[in-house]
Structure 1
Amino acid sequence: MSKETYELKAEARERVGKGSSRELRRNGLIPAVIYGDKQAPISIAISTNEVTKRVQAGGFMTTVATLDVDGKKYKVLPKDYQRDPVRDFMVHVDFLRVSGNSQVTVEIPVHFINEEKSDIKKGGVLNIVRHTVEAHVPANDIPDAITVDLDGLKVGDSVHISQVTLPKNVVPVITDRDFTIATIVPPVVAIVDEAEETVATEEDDKSE
């Protein structure tokens, strides 16, 4: 479970808009907002370097953080961030206020184990349908990942959400169907070989 937390310094900002945002970015800061918990949103500025480091370290969207805004502290969960589409630098972050009783919706990464105990070791290919599962979870108990055990799976088998042991208090957002997480498919080489055999057979038939 994700118990790690961290603290970032931020400053409140009164001016908003494109001009103000550009000025912040020139000074190494990112415009951001804290919202939720039935309170008015707060516009803030936060270090570009610090946020970028947290994103690159992984788990940014599933780790509760503390924002120190001019001495006042807020427990938050990052809910969204934007990058410049051309130069790929951070341009904005949204933070959701949370408390010990908060329920949040997050994308939880899916990890696979025991590939060597499935038909993957015989050449089967793991076709991942969902790399993450969107779920409702307590803000103070967000899992690092959902683990899918591939032990014993054969080519042609599928893993559905009902077959996965979910961490405690994790409830998938999708509840109206038993959605697929992954499948084990035949090797691509085998599929190509079969196609070539079919073509060869058809050509032989025509030549007779």
Structure 2
Amino acid sequence: MRKKMTVERRKEFTRSSLRRLRKNGRLPGVAYGKQIGNIPIHVPLKDIRRSVELGYAELIDMEIEGEGTYPVVIKEVQRDSFTGEWLHVDLFQVNMDEPITMRVPLEFEGTPQGSKSGGVLQIQEEYLEVEALPDQIPAVIKVDVSELNVGDKLTVADLKLPEGVKVIAQPNELLVTVVLPRSVIVDIGVEETEETDEEAS
């Protein structure tokens, strides 16, 4: 079942009205798309927070009070770079029979085999852009790292994607690898040097 969100039209556009909305737990924004055009709105901030925590990749039934319900996705959220205050949200109305592009979070599962040898999981990408019909966009892309040993890596080509989902990235793009920490490499180098010196003497 898709998440539902009720929004209201914004009727005031002054800075003071925007501050008042945010103070009352509402986030100003705009909803736009082929069917609805461009509509200034405000929405409960708690609903947007919850969706953002899931990585944006969530199809939402947006109800405009007294006007109808439309499928939307969160396209962008603006926050103050200094205070972290939530400032604005863009909601994009989608057509269910047309593919869209969304940024989907990667969820790494398991403990690498290489961790037993001191290896550390090094994540190169936390999100990937994918293209699919709106109701086929996954909330997350799960990546199993449990079989990785030191020196192993996973790329886009190694992903197991749901049917109908296409990644907008090169197959050889690196996602994650297992490496030895620099301190371990240095220690190994020191030990090898000492052994070589002993053999020479």
- Both proteins in one fold, TM over 0.5: yes
How far off is 1:197 after superposition?
6.0
User: Once the 2 structures are TM-superposed, how far is the Cα of residue 128 of structure 1 from its aligned partner?
Assistant: 0.7
Equivalent residues of 2:9, 2:42 under 8 A apart: yes
Moved over 4 A (4+): 194-198
Aligned with 2:169: secondary structure? coil
Give the number of equivalent residue pairs.
Answer: 194
How has the CA–CA distance of structure 1 residues 61 and 30 changed in structure 2, closer, same or farther, with 3 Å as cutoff? same
Once the two structures are superposed, what CA deviation does each residue of 1:105-160 show, in whole Å capped at 9, x if it has no partner?
122222233425x2123221111111111111221122132222334432112211
Partner of 1:138: 133
Once residues 140 and 75 of structure 2 are traced to their aligned partners in structure 1, the CA distance between those partners, rounded to angstroms, is 17
**Which residue, out of 151, 157, 167, partners 1:156?**
151
Letter in 2 for 1:44: I
2:48 pairs with one of 42, 45, 51: 51
1:42 has 2:39 as partner: yes
CA contact 2:55–2:105 (8 Å) conserved in 1: no
Q: Secondary structure at the match of 1:166?
A: coil
Q: Which one is further off, 93-102 or 147-156?
A: 147-156
Unaligned stretches of 5+ residues in structure 2: none
Of 176, 185, 188, the residue aligned with 1:191 is: 185
Structure 1 residues 54 and 111, CA gap change in structure 2 (3 angstroms): closer
Task: Give, in whole Å, the separation in 2 of the partners of 1:183 and 1:119.
Answer: 10
- Per-residue deviation at 1:187? 3.3
Check conservation: 2:107, 2:140, Cα contact below 8 A.
yes
Q: Deviations over 1:59-86 (max 9, x none)?
A: 2511111222122222111111122333
- Corresponding residue SS for 1:86: coil
Distance 1:155 1:130 in 2: 18
Counterpart position of 1:61: 56
CA distance in 2, matches of 1:146, 1:26: 35
Q: Percent identity?
A: 29
- Counterparts of 1:113 and 1:28, CA distance in 2: 35
| 1:81-160 equivalent positions in 2, closer than 5 A | 81-116=77-112, 118-160=113-155
CA distance in 1, matches of 2:21, 2:173: 43
CA contact (8 A) 1:60 1:78 kept: no
Instruction: Name the aligned partner's letter for residue 62 of structure 1.
Output: A
CA offsets 1:146-193 (integer angstroms, 9 cap, x no match): 222334432112211112222222211124x52111111113431232
- Give the alignment's TM-score, normalised by structure 1: 0.79
Instruction: Report if aligned partners of 2:51, 2:58 keep a CA contact under 8 Å in 1.
Output: no
- Confirm or deny: 8 A CA contact 1:5 1:65 kept in the other structure: yes
1:178 partnered with 2:175: no
Instruction: Tell me what 2:24 maps to.
Output: 27
